Structure 1
Amino acid sequence: MKRFSQAFVSMMVLVLLSGCLYPEEQLAQNQIPYEEQIESVQAAINQFKEEENGLLPIKTKEHDTPVYRKYPIDFSKIVPRYMASSPSNSFEKGGIFQYVLIDVEENPTVKLIDLRIPEKIKEIQMRIRSQGYPPMKELIGDNVYTLDFAKLGYKEDPFVVSPFSGVHLPFVITGKGDLYVDYRQDIYMKLEDKMSIQTVNEEDIRSVLLEGSHFVPAYSLPYVLNEKNEPDFNLK
């Protein structure tokens, strides 16, 4: 009991010290996707690639890692040679964003993942594990279901705030028990804004969300257009 108390006190001291080291204004800044920070990282990536014969400063991931999480930037390879430090809003600096690259073969482009999303997924997964099975509710796609969150102890269905539109996005689960964010609402709104849907990637229409945004739709399933030109899940 004494050992537990000492550990608890030590943890609280660390929390208090963190609050002193990171005042409220700085914590708020760590949650904003600043244009100039993204541009400085992009410039560093471009310079590194040029000087390293096409190599990119990325961390190694498994081959089957989902595409929007597959190429996280390794700041240890570009700091301090190509930039003074990693951005204040990056995970490495205590921020809520992970900096990643997309289109690495043709045009390596810096994008962001909002790390509050996987944190919420972990929270739900913990409740599912404690119950022993996922309480699936309604089949809404090929092997894709909604969840009965009341059976997991939630008074209201959990959600994440979309980094693209600011709307509340729900969660879905596959028959294998994998949790994802449902971006159909964002995609639908994006397609409505387009003059034509002829340029949409037929195999995965999530690409429309990348236009004009600093974010990627991480922790989501691929989507295709159905016969009504609406987004549907694509697990194939």
Structure 2
Amino acid sequence: MKYTYLLTIPFMFLLLSGCMYPQSERSENQIPNEEQLAVVQQAVETYREEEDGLVPIQTKDSDTHIFEKYLIDFKQMLEKGYLSELPGNSFEEGGVYQYTIIDPEDDLQVRLIDLQTTEQLRSVNVRLDVYRQEHTYPAYGQQITDQIYTVDYEKLGLSEPPTAKSPYSQADLPIVMDLDGKLYIDYSYDLNQALEEDNHGYEEGDDIRYLLVDNYPFVPAYSLPYTVEDGQAVFMEED
């Protein structure tokens, strides 16, 4: 595995699937309520204790991105009485967040996927799919690494480079693609801020995305692994 410095233009990738999140005008559905998150966290822990180590998660393909792989199955939790109602900000209740577990075996932390960010990535992917129907190759822009490119936004009929709003900093994070045309979000801006602010013990070769997972209610959805080198967030690229 080799490590490649991230450029000042952030980038990333991951093919997005799924549909637009349900719409709701209730303001409580649009914010990451810490109390709701804590209630779900306790319910998931109780579930595992009382259900012989099982965890209420939806079945996903083995190659599903790590932060989208263990979505909480609220139907199970409601039916078995571990929750009396759904979190108001959850996708299932018309909110803009999916609740996910980091690792059902080793790390039972409950976190949120911001579906507003997901929708921004999806909208670019729709344009990319249309482009691919008429062209042999994806709309590659500038080459960033051997495996990562910016998106040629003009080829997709966009007026500016596509971005997704960060759930951490609210910054506009660039969207990039890999060699297969899969789209990802570049969280290098957020990661570099976290590296500066957190008294971390991460070393070269460690996946530093968990700096965000451990300190915020969100996961960096649709991201690539990063490590740290000379104090900066860098891509981890497979040979």
Could you say which TM-score interval applies, normalised by the shorter chain?
0.7 to 0.9
Q: Is the 8 A contact 1:57 1:74 kept in 2?
A: yes
Percent of counterpart pairs with the same letter? Answer: 41
Equivalent residue for 2:105? Answer: 105
Q: Is the 8 A contact 2:163 2:173 kept in 1?
A: yes
Equivalent residue for 1:153? Answer: 157
Cα distance in 2 for partners of 1:193, 1:173 equals 29
**Counterpart pick for 1:206 among 196, 204, 209:** 209
Equivalent residue for 2:96? Answer: 96
Measured against aligned partners, the alpha-carbon deviations of 1:22-73 in whole angstroms (never above 9, x if no partner) come to 5x4x1x2211010110011111111111110110000111112111111000
Equivalent residue for 1:123? Answer: 123
Greater C-alpha radius of gyration: 1
Q: Is the 8 A contact 1:204 1:224 kept in 2?
A: yes
Cα distance in 1 for partners of 2:204, 2:38 equals 26
Cα distance in 1 for partners of 2:144, 2:116 equals 25
For normalisation by structure 1, the TM-score amounts to 0.84
Q: Is the 8 A contact 2:78 2:84 kept in 1?
A: yes
The secondary structure found in structure 1 opposite 2:45 is: helix
Equivalent residue for 1:194? Answer: 198
> Over aligned residues, Cα RMSD in angstroms?
1.9
**Counterpart pick for 2:223 among 202, 220, 225:** 220
The structure 1 segments of at least 4 consecutive aligned residues displaced by more than 4 Å after TM superposition are none
Cα distance in 2 for partners of 1:98, 1:200 equals 31
The structure where strand makes up a greater share of residues is 2
Equivalent residue for 1:5? Answer: none
Aligned length: 212
Deviation for aligned residue 1:150: 1.9
The 10-residue stretch of structure 1 (197-206 or 37-46) with the greater mean CA deviation from structure 2: 197-206
| Residue 229, structure 1, aligned to residue 228, structure 2 | no
Q: Is the 8 A contact 2:121 2:164 kept in 1?
A: no
Deviation for aligned residue 1:206: 0.8
Within a 5 Å distance, the mapping from 1:141-180 to structure 2 comes to 141-180=145-184
Deviation for aligned residue 1:88: 1.1
Q: Is the 8 A contact 1:201 1:207 kept in 2?
A: no
Equivalent residue for 1:6? Answer: none
Deviation for aligned residue 1:108: 0.6
Equivalent residue for 1:185? Answer: 189
Q: Which amino acid aligns with 2:125?
A: Q
Equivalent residue for 2:76? Answer: 77
- Structure 1 residues 106, 201: CA separation in 2 closer, same or farther (over 3 Å shift)? farther
The secondary structure found in structure 2 opposite 1:101 is: strand
Equivalent residue for 1:57? Answer: 56
Q: Is the 8 A contact 1:142 1:233 kept in 2?
A: no
Structure 2 spans left out of the alignment, 5+ residues: 1-21
Measured against aligned partners, the alpha-carbon deviations of 1:100-119 in whole angstroms (never above 9, x if no partner) come to 00132223111000012222
Cα distance in 2 for partners of 1:123, 1:146 equals 16
Cα distance in 2 for partners of 1:59, 1:162 equals 26
The structure where helix makes up a greater share of residues is 1
Cα distance in 2 for partners of 1:170, 1:204 equals 20
Q: Which has the higher contact order (CA 8 A, sep 6+)?
A: 2
Structure 1 spans left out of the alignment, 5+ residues: 1-17
